[in-house]
Amino acid sequence: MAKRKSTKKLTTSIPKKVKKLNVPDLIIERGFWRKNVIPALILFVLSIGLYMQTKSFDYVLDDKIVYHENGLVKKGFDGIAEIFGTESMVGYFGEQINLLPGSRYRPLSIATFAIEHEIFGQKNYKIENYWTKEFKKYPTLADRVDKVIADGNLFEVIFPTEEDFLNGLNVHFSADEINKYKKQFLFHAAYSDSGISHVINVLLYGLLVLLLFRLLAVLFPAVQSKWYLTLAFISTLLFVLHPIHVEAVANVKGRDEILALTGALATMLFTLKYIAHEKPIYLLLSGVIFLFGLLAKEHVLTFIALIPLTNYFFTNSSFKKNAVSTVPMVIAGLIFLYMRNEAIGGDNMFNLSGGEVSKDLMNNPFAEMSTTEALATKFYTLGLYIKLLLFPHPLTHDYYPYHIPIMDWGNLSTILSFLFYIGMGVFAVLGLKKKSIPAYGVFFFMIPLFAVSNLIISVGTFMNDRFVFFSSVGFCIILGYLISRKLPSPVINLGLLGVLILGYFTKTLNRVPDWENSYTLNVSAIKNSPNSARANLFMSTALFKNYAQRETDREKKKVLLQEVKSYVDRSLEIYPNYGSAIKMQVKIATDIYRIESKIEPLLKTFESIIKIRKTNESIDIYLNHFKSNNSWTKELAAFSYKIGYEYFLKKLGDRQMAVKYINYGISIDPSDPLLQKAVTELQGQ
């Protein structure tokens, strides 16, 4: 009998409960900068190289409001507390005037300007509107201030030394007055070095670019060894080069955009670091930096929604952990809203759009539209942002009425834009479950854009290139994803990327010089925004200040004044009730009168203005001046009859205005039969 083969039963010790592996919610690569020296250097050097030409540029546009004509900035360090304690336009206007609903509270960039002025503010001297406003408060100096404004060799001329500036004042002020008011004269004329301001903006932009690169590398770890084909590098490179960013970087005022986006992205990075390492210090830093971003621009509030979405898309963190990471932002947001409310004096700190809606077209471009027209125009404008991101040409700084025309829902562009945004929203929501990168890019594009879309809060203009500064990150993420991960081969990837790089680089390089000074900027704007009342007015002002006002040859000056007049006339054709254009119209008409000594064109200008505004301070000054000039008795009497009797009394039935102009005519020529008839009729009423 065969021996049975013995078998041993194999036993394996199987624990009753398998211990779950402790997988981190997010892994953040260490030694990132050491491993990415080359791409980081390329991005930083390219950022600096593209914009360093601005170091020789002047201040333009709203730079005067936030910087070189801002009284609080001119106080330097002493003005910082007041900058944080008041509405952001108080330093320029001298009081809070609430030009826009909700006012503006963006003290951080203004505070950096005050610091700059303290350090660099005594390098040059320049008489500007701020200086003239200050010294018109002195009754004994007010008449000389008017002469300073009219002096093309003094007003808005930069003097390199204190001595040169005071010597220039000798033309209009006595030695005793200069000695008496020397400190005030110098203080209000101190003009900061615009080159320093531009260099700081460029350096801040370069640092922002490095921050974006680091953040995107956390969100999109490299899936291939070639760094130049990674999503993080390509998206950041497209951001660096995109021409739509020129306004934010080349305009000194754009520093608020740079600081705000820096604060928002840094908050996102520290929140992700908390998710990865769970160190409370990262929570604290995220809250502090978020407040920093908010004090630059309130639109950073949109990241309270975007950062939790980012956590959901790119980490495995629990709902509780995600909620905890949001708490510092909420606290910082409440602190900001409280500070803002205390500064602007609001009744409700949660109301960012409070206050009366402006009826001035230049501060409310929708003032002349119906509700349906306004909504259609807003969606048409939102479509333009997509177009300019895809094909950034032409670019302008002036999107004021009516560069963008009044639209309705019968316009195909409006309908397509509306449908496209609805489609993007649906696409993003559907992509939530799959955690799709393009869906995330859409969220990053749409959420910040919502704050400047005019759909909820009026931003005071149709659109601006700088308004899409935040949202362009989302656009660059989508484009970078398509190039790095969806196109079929490196040849096609690099080919498309090369075309974009060449196009963006060339356009940016050509666009930056437009911001050199007010004249170059307005030359560009009038070419690309010919239907903007503001662009035409600003072009007339720049042409007048830079050339017509300083021209000494009478014939050449006359030709220049006629050119200036053509832009003013076009501005008023677009917007007949444009107060600043009317003021300029009076100025040019009177200057032409001084050269030609012809009263008829001047009175015709006065007539057109009076029919729009009824009365005008500058016109009243000139009419009173003519009382002592017997040369134009007949013409002034006829003007008074036409305006006072025919227009105000007979056409409008406005007795008060009729009396004003008829009495003026009688004071010029008491024997004029038509005016006597008008007086008799008035007395009989």
> Any idea where the domains of the chain sit in the sequence?
195-512, 619-685
- pLDDT over 90 at 95, yes or no: no
Give 481's pLDDT tier (boundaries 50, 70, 90).
Answer: very high
List, for residues 330-347, the tens digit of each pLDDT value: 999 999 999 999 999 877
Proportion of the chain above pLDDT 90, given as a percent: 76
Identify the pLDDT of residue 458.
Answer: 84
Least confident of 15-24, 99-108, 288-297, 628-637: 15-24
Identify the pLDDT of residue 37.
Answer: 96
Ordered strands of the 190-191 beta sheet: 158-159, 124-126, 190-191
H-helix or E-strand spanning residue 601: helix 599-613
List, for residues 417-444, the tens digit of each pLDDT value: 999 999 999 999 999 999 999 999 999 9
- pLDDT over 50 at 311, yes or no: yes
Identify the pLDDT of residue 625.
Answer: 86
List, for residues 599-644, the tens digit of each pLDDT value: 999 999 999 999 998 888 889 988 988 887 778 899 999 999 999 9
List, for residues 456-467, the tens digit of each pLDDT value: 888 889 999 999
Give 75's pLDDT tier (boundaries 50, 70, 90).
Answer: very high
What is the rounded average pLDDT of the residues 295-321?
A: 96
Distance from C-alpha of 380 to C-alpha of 396, rounded to nearest angstrom: 17
DSSP string, 153-213: TTBT-EESSHHHHHHHHTTTS-HHHHHHHHHHHHHHHEE--HHHHHHHHHHHHHHHHHHHH
What is the rounded average pLDDT of the residues 189-201?
A: 93
> Which of 262, 264, 250, 134 is closest to 187 using CA atoms?
134
> Which of 60, 56, 78, 81 is closest to 69 using CA atoms?
60
Distance from C-alpha of 234 to C-alpha of 497, rounded to nearest angstrom: 8
Identify the pLDDT of residue 99.
Answer: 73
Prediction pTM value: 0.91
Identify the pLDDT of residue 376.
Answer: 97
List, for residues 214-255, the tens digit of each pLDDT value: 999 999 998 777 898 899 999 999 999 999 999 999 999 999
- pLDDT over 50 at 510, yes or no: yes
CA 264, 269, 272, 273 torsion-angle sign: negative
What is the rounded average pLDDT of the residues 576-582?
A: 93
User: Per residue in 462-492, is it b (16+ CB within 10 Å) or e — as a string?
Assistant: bbbbbbbbbbbbbbbbbbbbbbbbeeeeeee
> Which of 567, 533, 528, 531 is closest to 547 using CA atoms?
567
Omega of the bond prior to 228 within 30 degrees of 0, cis? no
- pLDDT over 80 at 3, yes or no: no
Looking at every residue in the chain, the average pLDDT score rounds to 91
List, for residues 348-396, the tens digit of each pLDDT value: 777 776 666 678 899 899 999 999 999 999 999 999 999 999 999 999 9
Identify the pLDDT of residue 355.
Answer: 60
| DSSP bridge partners of 159 | 125
Alpha-helical runs (H) found in 278-410:
280-296, 303-314, 319-344, 371-390
Identify the pLDDT of residue 113.
Answer: 97
- pLDDT over 90 at 470, yes or no: yes
What is the rounded average pLDDT of the residues 180-195?
A: 91
Instruction: Tell me which DSSP letter residue 62 carries.
Output: T
Identify the pLDDT of residue 685.
Answer: 67
Structure-block tokens of residue 464: 């601006």
DSSP string, 426-479: HHHHHHHHHT-HHHHHHHHHHHHHHTTSSSSS--SSS--GGGGTTTHHHHHHHH
List, for residues 113-128, the tens digit of each pLDDT value: 999 999 988 778 999 8
